[in-house]
Structure 1
Amino acid sequence: MSRGSFVFTPMALRSLELDEDMLERYKYKKQLASHHLNSYMVKKEIRNRALLRSDTALPAAVCQDVVVQNALYTGDLEAMQHLFPRGATVNLIIEPQGGDMRWVATGEGLWSLSYEQELTTPLHITAGRGFADCLRLLLQRGANVDLSPGGTTALHEACENCQPECVKLLLVHGANANAVSEDGLMPLHICTSPGSLECAKCLLQYGAAINSRTIDEDDTPLHVAARNGLTDHTELYLRYGAAVDKQNNEGLTPLNVACSQRQEVQDLQVYFKVCQMLLGAGADVHTLDQDKHSPLHMACKNANPDIVDLLLANGACVNDMDYGGEAPMHNILKVVCFKVSHQPERIVRALLNHGSIRVWPGALPLVLKHCSESPRTIEVLLNAYSHLKVTDTWVESVSSEVYKEHKEFYDSVFSLALTPRSLQHLARCKLRNFLEGRVHKVVPKLDLPTYIKNYLLLEYRGYIH
């Protein structure tokens, strides 16, 4: 046995075990005492609130009381009536648990991940969750209606969560309808979903500025409604005198915004209705953004055929070029393969009938490669030419899968390598060239059978001849 070591006797080991048990009991008693103390402090704080008897709201105080927070987040009116009697402190700052993780500087060049906490108040919690009775109680107890420790007011919170009853309560109790959040948004800018319509109505009735601007984008409420495809909001704002041609920081008017928003098939009619309202209110179809994109450029990029027809009917120019030297026709041809379900052939046909520039013949094989999944688009494009030089490159541009699916159509295209265009088609091209950009105006007025009129307007047949 080495120097400095010794053997534990059974008696010594037993003594150590008893000491360890004693320490464990001591720790348990300490924890239990701490728990009782915390419980006592919570009850004491509640009793102290009940003793406060002041008619004016006290300055905001930080609240970490889990009993109070639980009552607020669950909308327990009965509990809140006990927790917030008359004269109680209702202007509380609450730091909710959880949140998103973010990197925070801890000093000396070190960073650590911590939960991002957003400060809130009882008003924010109840207004955002639609607990109108609880909100009314807090307001009656003198809560500061415009308190915004987290950068937004309770009114912003109610609008964001589509709680019209709470919005009205806050406004009736003096909430500022034009309060600006930390992000530079007023409550009207927060109304971004169909369910927020009643909130928007309340805000306007209580003096919300119809042409107010966001700080970052310089958007008006009408920009917000147009961007989100909100037809009822758009109608409401126009009725209140919203300016239709205000441009934001990117040079976009509400019409430009509606046309430029990405649209799925189910969204096409909604955005069409918004554009219809804006144009009916006098929106300018010629306004260009910073990149010289017109509403027509944007509608073609998003492949909304009804909006394209609407813009053309209101005088949009089919051959305006953006900074990249591209016309609306370029925009639609770029997206045909992604937007087949949007009926891109309707847009190509409308542009050509209004005098759009055509694709350089040498680039047709490339267009064929990218647009072959939409045979109707190819048909309309090819019928704008009196002569075509079909080569093996054309055949190679169509994948075998697409060819099998649309064999009859592409056989008619490839057969042009051996046969000229029909006399009927040549006559059509001659008349269209003579009329130039007036085809859409003149042809419907001609005393001709409907079948021939449609043929002149490049109606689809499913084959090339």
Structure 2
Amino acid sequence: MSRGSFVFTPTALRSLQLDEDMLERHKYRKQLSSHHFNGYMLKKEARDRALLRTSTALPPAVCHDLVIQNALYTGDLEAMQRLFPRGSTANFIIEPQGGDMRWVASGDGLWSLTYEQELTTPLHITADRGFTDCLRLLLQRGANVELAPGGTTALHEACESCHPECVKLLLSHGANANAVSEDGLMPLHVCTDPESLECAKYLLQYGAAINGRSLEEDDTPLHVAGRNGLADHTELYLRYGAAVDKQNDEGLTPLNAACSQPQELHELERYFKVCQLLLEAGANVGTLDQDKHSPLHMACKNVNADLVDLLLAKGACVNDMDYGGEAPMHNILKVVCYKISHKPERIVRALLNYGSIRVWPGALPMVLKHCCGSPRTIEVLLNAYSQLKVTDTWVEAVPPEVFKKHQEFYESLFSLAQTPRSLQHLARYRLRSFLEGRVHKVVPKLILPTFLKNYLLLEYRGYVH
């Protein structure tokens, strides 16, 4: 790139256009009367600073000075004050040395292995690293907040790295809160970490489109918050009028996105809280994605028992079939062996109490083979049948080490090969069959001792009889 030159990417130009989501932003902002005056003053200040900056800014040049680069990357404010005295400009582009290697085609058709260079600016470097004082100095020296030589603005970098003070500085100096990166993302779309909450607040105060769509996935910020389990972000966006049931290119609503995201044990509560907020805001519990997966399908697949209970209580259909002909029960049984610590037995029990279809008896040995590591899951599942045809195939399905670990349970199961189910169990089975999916509603209301109610609701006993 020659000195004094600068290339705008198509996506950077696209950020200057008014679209449908900008109109929606104005509509929702009318409902937020308490934010009107502050929002107006903040944007007015930003516009005034932007006009002052553009009147004095020089076209960006390319800087190869390693002394300047070193001061920027280390956040050396004293060095930068010397390098950028009053009257100088910080409006230039940097081409860092090094980076990842990639094959590049030369003009004569040959390919060579060279370092991948990604252009950046002093604002990007300091915003990404949270060097607030250095960033302020650069802005005072006329650095252009809209430069995006690497495909993203400095505002994107500050949001992605969770530096709210840098975000506030950039916005107050005229940064576009709805700038679109080369990947089609607005700054709110890169607020994917719990620590980015303050960044999101500043963006919304400066007019970020609450329902702005990403160009590739068609995600809104609420989709991003749901997918990343960000309860505080979800609550914030809902307060600003985020559309709770918008679907992206895959047919996912924010609720579907939250339910479909793989969840580790320590993340279950976060995602439950997000879904709880969305449902309280009126999210549709039955929306299907393009593969006809419901939120319940995905919550079962990710083995979030509290979330499954919540979805069922909100009216989720327990026997919805996806394009593959699988119900939520299929989804949970396929992942039991991988998620034993998530207590999959709770989900199987809840689904059965809400009237879920059962496994075809001929497939029970296969289910036993894959789920034997969770005897409670097997117990709940088998207690939905009046009789079981236990054969040698069942015995062979349980590895010796698993049998030894849960010997008492599997001995009780295999003994059913020679004895029928107990009269007590048959009475339970008959009552549950009569209620036909109303078990969860009727049984808690019965005037019965608690231990009998729990027995009817398939409480675990550690054996089958």
Q: Tell me if TM exceeds 0.5.
A: yes
Is the Cα contact below 8 Å between 1:58 and 1:90 reproduced in 2? no
Q: CA deviation at 1:89?
A: 2.8
Is the Cα contact below 8 Å between 1:55 and 1:87 reproduced in 2? no
Residue 423 of structure 1 aligns with which residue? Answer: 423
1:409 counterpart SS class: helix
Residue 129 of structure 1 aligns with which residue? Answer: 129
Residue 22 of structure 1 aligns with which residue? Answer: none
2:215 counterpart SS class: coil
Deviations 1:69-90 (A, max 9, x none): 1111111222212221233231
* Counterpart AA for 2:280: G
* Counterpart AA for 1:461: R
* Counterpart AA for 1:233: H
Task: Quote the Cα distance in structure 2 between the aligned partners of 1:107 and 1:58.
Answer: 33
Residue 35 of structure 1 aligns with which residue? Answer: none
2:103 counterpart SS class: strand
1:106 aligns with 2:112: no
Residue 226 of structure 1 aligns with which residue? Answer: 226
Task: Quote the Cα distance in structure 2 between the aligned partners of 1:65 and 1:226.
Answer: 43
Task: Quote the Cα distance in structure 1 between the aligned partners of 2:306 and 2:110.
Answer: 56
Task: Quote the Cα distance in structure 1 between the aligned partners of 2:353 and 2:416.
Answer: 24
Task: Quote the Cα distance in structure 1 between the aligned partners of 2:55 and 2:388.
Answer: 87
Task: Quote the Cα distance in structure 2 between the aligned partners of 1:386 and 1:364.
Answer: 14
1:461 aligns with 2:461: yes
Q: CA deviation at 1:112?
A: 2.1
| Segments ≥4 residues shifted beyond 4 Å | none
Q: How does 1:25-64 map to 2 (within 5 A)?
A: 56-64=56-64
Residue 238 of structure 2 aligns with which residue? Answer: 238
Task: Quote the Cα distance in structure 2 between the aligned partners of 1:127 and 1:281.
Answer: 35
* Counterpart AA for 2:322: D
Task: Quote the Cα distance in structure 2 between the aligned partners of 1:99 and 1:189.
Answer: 26
Residue 115 of structure 2 aligns with which residue? Answer: 115
Is the Cα contact below 8 Å between 1:219 and 1:248 reproduced in 2? yes
Task: Quote the Cα distance in structure 2 between the aligned partners of 1:113 and 1:235.
Answer: 48
Is the Cα contact below 8 Å between 1:223 and 1:254 reproduced in 2? yes
Deviations 1:282-308 (A, max 9, x none): 110100000000000000111110110
Q: Which moved more, 1:188-197 or 1:73-82?
A: 73-82
Residue 270 of structure 1 aligns with which residue? Answer: 270
Task: Quote the Cα distance in structure 2 between the aligned partners of 1:107 and 1:399.
Answer: 63
Which of structures 1 and 2 has the bigger CA Rg? 1
Residue 391 of structure 2 aligns with which residue? Answer: 391
* Counterpart AA for 1:73: Y
Q: CA deviation at 1:113?
A: 1.9
Deviations 1:332-353 (A, max 9, x none): 0000010110000000000000
1:103 counterpart SS class: strand
Q: CA deviation at 1:55?
A: 7.2
Residue 329 of structure 1 aligns with which residue? Answer: 329
Residue 88 of structure 1 aligns with which residue? Answer: 88
Q: CA deviation at 1:107?
A: 3.6
* Counterpart AA for 1:388: L
Is the Cα contact below 8 Å between 1:119 and 1:150 reproduced in 2? yes
2:356 counterpart SS class: coil
Residue 362 of structure 2 aligns with which residue? Answer: 362
Task: Quote the Cα distance in structure 1 between the aligned partners of 2:319 and 2:110.
Answer: 57
Residue 401 of structure 1 aligns with which residue? Answer: 401
Residue 66 of structure 1 aligns with which residue? Answer: 66
Task: Quote the Cα distance in structure 2 between the aligned partners of 1:112 and 1:248.
Answer: 40
Task: Quote the Cα distance in structure 1 between the aligned partners of 2:433 and 2:101.
Answer: 64
Task: Quote the Cα distance in structure 2 between the aligned partners of 1:55 and 1:297.
Answer: 57
2:78 counterpart SS class: helix
In structure 1, list runs of 5 or more residues that go unmatched. Answer: 1-53
Task: Quote the Cα distance in structure 2 between the aligned partners of 1:110 and 1:309.
Answer: 61
Tell me the number of residue pairs that the alignment of Structure 1 and Structure 2 aligns: 412
Is the Cα contact below 8 Å between 1:71 and 1:80 reproduced in 2? yes
Task: Quote the Cα distance in structure 2 between the aligned partners of 1:96 and 1:254.
Answer: 38
Residue 340 of structure 2 aligns with which residue? Answer: 340
Residue 289 of structure 1 aligns with which residue? Answer: 289
Percent of aligned pairs with the same amino acid = 83
Residue 209 of structure 1 aligns with which residue? Answer: 209
Deviations 1:206-250 (A, max 9, x none): 100100000000000011111111111111111111111010000
In angstroms, what is the RMSD of aligned CA positions?
Answer: 1.1
Task: Quote the Cα distance in structure 1 between the aligned partners of 2:363 and 2:78.
Answer: 75
1:93 counterpart SS class: strand
* Counterpart AA for 1:358: R
Residue 156 of structure 1 aligns with which residue? Answer: 156
Q: CA deviation at 1:109?
A: 3.5
Residue 191 of structure 1 aligns with which residue? Answer: 191
Task: Quote the Cα distance in structure 2 between the aligned partners of 1:257 and 1:109.
Answer: 45
In structure 2, list runs of 5 or more residues that go unmatched. Answer: 1-53
Residue 29 of structure 2 aligns with which residue? Answer: none
